[in-house]
A = this chain, B = another copy of it.
């Protein structure tokens, strides 16, 4: 896993729905609420290839977000359903980069275009884990294949 790999050929899909606690005074989803959905989607994506995030944490490995960008293209309203589509865009050394696009039902273009970079870190010290647990490495391989 030394040179850059990616992107995944497959997008992992995760369904979400706008609840009252996601919205703000403007009657649309508050811009920070999307980060919850993106996190939920990443955890479900890892589950789809056999890794429970909580188990990874028990092994002493966290996977914090160290970089993120979001472009808000269309608001979402109370009760709307959407899909978070996620894929690994690049995996290089310890950097795991994901595209995460959020589509309203039937939308052709994403409402929100997100990118996040994750790096495996030691749960106790926060230091970068150059050799993450094998189950994480295997999971990333599966997501890339």
| Chain A residues at the B interface, C-beta cutoff of 8 Å | 19-21, 23-28, 30-32, 35-36, 39-40, 43, 52-55, 57, 62, 64-72, 75, 77-80, 123, 126
Question: Nearest residue in B to A57 (C-beta to C-beta)?
Answer: B78
A66 to B28, CA, bound (A): 13
- In the complex, the count of this chain's copies comes to 4
Choose one: B25, B75, B126; the contact of A57 (CB below 8 Å): B25
Q: Please indicate the chain B residues that have their CB under 8 angstroms from the CB of A123 in the complex.
A: 26
Q: What CA separation (Å) do A32 and B19 show in the bound complex? A: 13
Residues of the B chain whose Cβ atoms lie less than 8 Å from the Cβ of A78: 25, 53-54, 57
Q: Smallest distance from the beta carbon of A44 to chain B beta carbons, Å?
A: 9
Cross-chain contact B24 with A24 (CB below 8 angstroms) = yes
Query: In the complex, A117 Cα to B145 Cα: how many Å?
Result: 36
Contact present for B75 and A126 (CB under 8 Å): yes
Please, how many angstroms separate the alpha-carbon atoms of A62 and B25 in the complex? Answer: 10
**Among A31, A40, A52, A77, which residue has the most Cβ atoms of chain B within 10 A?**
A31
Identify 19 residue pairs between A and B in the complex whose beta-carbon atoms are under 8 Å apart, listed by A's number. Answer: A19-B39, A19-B43, A21-B24, A21-B35, A21-B36, A21-B39, A25-B57, A25-B78, A26-B57, A31-B65, A31-B68, A32-B36, A32-B39, A57-B79, A64-B72, A65-B72, A67-B69, A67-B70, A75-B126
